[in-house]
Amino acid sequence: MAKPRKTIITCAVTGAIHTPSMSEYLPVSASEIAEAAIGAAEAGAAIVHLHARDPQDGRPDQTPEAFEPFLRVIKQRSDCVVNITTGGAPTMTIQERIRPAATWKPEVASLNMGTMNFGLFPMLARFENSLKHQWERDYLSNRDIVFRNTFGDIEHILTTLGANGTRFEFECYDTAHLYNLKHFFDAGIVKGPLFIQTVFGLMGGIGAHPEDVMHMKRTADRLFGDNYRWSVLGAGKNQMAIAAMSAAMGGHVRVGLEDSLWNGPGQLAKSNAEQVNRARQIIEGLGLEIASPDEAREILALKGADQVEF
């Protein structure tokens, strides 16, 4: 009898989209990020996806030194899979973005699969009166952000980090990103099982309608067959509804304060663990089981926590 399928929960702990003034619960300092990640893992997240921030004003910080304190604490206190961003912030260069993952050689790194418009400005109207730092206002009001991920950029990340045994969370914000990934798959630069994170509801990418979710899943099925593992990220209010769709369809889920500040209409989530618990309730309510970190490693063919550099 085949083993029952397990659902991987990824928790994106802090990210670069939301700013500290938007929510008092967003972790900013290294100690806050470590505690948030460990709490999410204890709640059931097999993977924690990590960014770093300047503790003074909360702006994204993509220096390897900013990651070191919380990476070491997380490894000491949890066996969760660590996923380091190569997205950083869309205003950073590719050289800045790759440095933490190249230095610390995690089991997983995120990789955005195409250049796109990146529209955060719809959030400004809701939070404008609460913003404390000028960089937040400048960042959110910018209507000219192009998040650069050229074929050359993507191949540079794949070959640089792939040489360290790091595998990837391929973040696909639109159908073309799946086709971009197929190019690298057909070229033999990446191998299955691919961990494909389809992203919904961020302005500049595909929408969050159920038909959009189905379209991305059908396209990935056609392009990759059995050579991939499907997960979803619903931005903002779409987080849990899209997570429920994925779980019901045999996919994995990503939640966390990077993607949504909310735990219900008008209710800020007080922790990443709160969102993980809600996702876990959905998964177990469907009669499914969540994956442990070691089960996630097996599902995604990861190198193991003993092969990282932190």
* Chain segment 100-112, per-residue pLDDT in tens: 999 999 999 999 9
> Model pTM?
0.97
Give the mean pLDDT of 179-184. 98
pLDDT band at 5 (very low <50, low <70, confident <90, very high): confident
Q: Among candidates 205, 211, 285, which has minimal Cα distance to 253?
A: 285
In the chain, the percentage of residues whose pLDDT exceeds 70 is 99
Q: What is the pLDDT of residues 272-285, one digit of tens each?
A: 999 999 999 999 99
pLDDT at 41: 98
Q: Side chain identity at 81, as an amino acid letter?
A: V
Query: What mean pLDDT, rounded, does the chain reach?
Result: 97
Give the mean pLDDT of 61-77. 98
Query: Rounded to a whole number, what is the distance in angstroms from the first to the last CA of the chain?
Result: 39
Q: Looking at the predicted structure, is the pLDDT value of residue 253 above 60?
A: yes
Tell me the domains of the chain and their CATH numbers.
6-307 (3.20.20.70)
